[in-house]
Structure 1
Amino acid sequence: MSATLQMRFTNENGGRVTVSVPDPRTDLTGTEVKTAMDNIVAKNVFTSKGGNLVAVDSARIVSRDVTEVTLV
């Protein structure tokens, strides 16, 4: 199973921007994610078509499980 941390931000135009990080630590806490997101906004690490990221919106870990099907 693979997992991706999706961090969502709001940009200057009010749009939503998602930054994805593959294979996050399994023991990652909400506090750690929030701190990282606050730093991303404060230091203008990323920009988007709608301008700089100005606010933290939400975060989630998305898991994906792939099962191969045997064809007979």
Structure 2
Amino acid sequence: MADNDNNKQRRLVEFKDGCRYGKFGKTKAYELIAQERIRAYKMGGKTLIDLDSIDEYHASLPRVESRAML
């Protein structure tokens, strides 16, 4: 995932809070980071997750189409 706007203030939270915000577990979070679907940063020994990248990920998810009952 490209970081297009370097001047923008990042909304960074600790890893567990990013998982809670994104409604996914740590395994899924690491998977999304590896796939570059969400952005993460290291600060010392802590991993921080960018909340805007989670919003972008959620916005990219396909919509479920309902089927009309006949």
**TM-score when normalising by structure 1:** 0.29
- Give the number of the structure whose alpha-carbon radius of gyration is greater: 1
More strand by share: 1
More helix by share: 2
Q: Which has the higher contact order (CA 8 A, sep 6+)?
A: 1
**TM-score when normalising by structure 2:** 0.30
